[in-house]
């Protein structure tokens, strides 16, 4: 184990430096801790649930400034509770559909809770009165946003309970309901807090793209996991050009077609990158920028790892822990984010097979993003360090590999790029 870990890190020396820097206190710049002693008992419970249920967002939510922090925490927990209802296959449709459609109304019912869920995160339903109490303690401007998004999302989830993701438009619509609406709601909360300009909350098209980019990335990466759970989110319009059944993509004899199908979906997803860059360029508050930028750079790194990669159909594809830490520490300003996007788009470009059916479209979208990004020279600060200094760092890591393997759980969770 020590030698395997060392070999992996030796191939990416800049990540060794950032792992050490992160563990020695660099994480405080992007993930400062909140003062729990200043919270009410019910709000402290909400933050406990946030840390228990969020794979990736808990740390940056707690780093948000002012009253926005509590608003986003409650927004997340409300949507997590709604999502738990949708995911619970033990709830029959006669019960589930009206629950999803009316879930927003439960926010104003102090005693409403649901005790029959079998899902992992059922505690957010069983103790929903605590969450709804803190929802009602929020300023009305925040309550209105959260309730409206919850209502729209519940209706969308109910629609897709028995509806397949058929066309690419269906794919966009489904991703809008489960992620685009989250982006729109968050953007309106940002503007309501006065930390961001009104345009951030008003431009719903850009906010929707932010959510779609993350959700589509998750859906592409999680093909095999979803197949094992009997879930299908890849659009029929695309996969039916390659195989008769979506599950056929996992068969060894179809691996070439599977990769081509995935490359087409990745190309579709890359079309959201220009919107992502415009959206991020409008942000002014540092905590909001970090909150929004980190998941996006994780997503582009994940797409680069998945592109033309047969492993997506054989196991798990995820970015390296050191890579995740580097992205978290670097993605704190617009020029750095542009450089990161450029870097991973170039990585994808270098892997485009000439025989891939989507190759020309992939090249076109990458060319358009190049015009919005910066030259590779801007990456110098990210990837160049003194060889002597790096040698010392590598020696330190080799001697303390076990210590380093316990790097913050929040960091490890970020490798997953976001949540479904």
The whole-angstrom separation of Cα 207 and Cα 183 is: 5
Three-class secondary structure of residue 38 per DSSP: helix
Active-site annotation holder among 106, 174, 289, 342: 174
Residue 347 CA: distances (Å) to CA of 181, 307, 351: 30, 9, 7
The whole-angstrom separation of Cα 401 and Cα 397 is: 5
The whole-angstrom separation of Cα 288 and Cα 75 is: 15
CA angle 7, 302, 211 (to 5 degrees): 155
Burial of 143 (0-12, 13-18, 19+ CB in 10 A): middle
Could you confirm whether 174 is annotated as catalytic? yes
Active-site annotation holder among 22, 47, 213, 291: 291
Could you confirm whether 231 is annotated as catalytic? yes
The whole-angstrom separation of Cα 142 and Cα 144 is: 5
Active-site annotation holder among 122, 231, 282, 370: 231
Active-site annotation holder among 49, 221, 279, 344: 221
Three-class secondary structure of residue 317 per DSSP: coil
The whole-angstrom separation of Cα 412 and Cα 416 is: 8
Active-site residues, by number, are 174, 221, 231, 291
């Amino acid at each position: 184990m020590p030698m395997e870990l060392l070999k992996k890190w030796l191939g990416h020396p800049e990540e060794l430096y950032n792992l050490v820097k992160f563990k020695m206190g660099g994480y405080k710049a992007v993930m400062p801790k909140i003062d729990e002693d200043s919270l009410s008992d019910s709000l402290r419970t909400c933050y406990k649930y946030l840390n228990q249920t969020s794979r990736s967002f808990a740390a940056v939510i707690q780093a948000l400034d002012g009253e926005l922090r509590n608003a986003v925490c409650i927004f997340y927990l409300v949507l997590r509770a709604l999502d738990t209802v949708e995911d619970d296959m033990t709830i029959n449709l006669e019960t589930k559909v009206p629950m999803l459609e009316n879930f927003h109304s439960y926010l104003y019912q102090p005693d409403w809770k649901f005790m029959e869920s079998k899902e992992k995160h059922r505690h957010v339903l069983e103790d929903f009165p605590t969450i709804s109490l803190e929802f009602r303690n929020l300023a009305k401007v925040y309550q209105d946003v959260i309730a409206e998004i919850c209502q729209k999302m519940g209706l969308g989830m109910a629609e897709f309970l028995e509806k397949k993701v058929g066309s690419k438009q269906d794919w966009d619509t489904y991703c809008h309901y489960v992620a685009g609406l989250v982006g729109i709601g968050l953007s309106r909360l940002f503007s309501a807090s006065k930390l961001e300009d009104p345009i951030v909350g008003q431009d719903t098209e850009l906010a929707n793209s932010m959510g779609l980019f993350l959700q589509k990335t998750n859906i592409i990466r999680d093909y095999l996991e979803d197949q094992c759970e009997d879930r299908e989110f890849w659009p029929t319009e695309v996969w039916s050009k390659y195989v008769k059944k979506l599950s056929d993509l996992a068969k060894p004899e179809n691996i070439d077609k599977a990769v081509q199908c995935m490359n087409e979906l990745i190309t579709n997803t890359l079309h959201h990158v220009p919107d992502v860059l415009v959206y991020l360029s409008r942000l002014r508050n540092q905590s909001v920028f970090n909150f929004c930028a980190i998941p996006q750079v994780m997503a582009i790194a994940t797409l680069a790892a998945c592109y033309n990669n047969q492993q997506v159909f054989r196991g798990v594809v995820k970015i390296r822990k050191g890579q995740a830490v580097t992205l978290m520490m670097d993605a704190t300003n617009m020029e750095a984010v542009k450089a990161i996007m450029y870097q991973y788009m170039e990585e994808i470009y270098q892997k485009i097979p000439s025989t891939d059916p989507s190759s020309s479209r992939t090249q076109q979208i990458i060319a358009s993003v190049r015009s919005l990004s910066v030259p590779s020279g801007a990456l110098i600060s990210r990837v160049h360090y003194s060889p002597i200094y790096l040698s010392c760092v590598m020696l330190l890591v080799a001697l303390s590999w076990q210590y380093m393997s316990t790097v913050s759980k929040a960091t490890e969770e970020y490798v997953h790029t976001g949540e479904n």
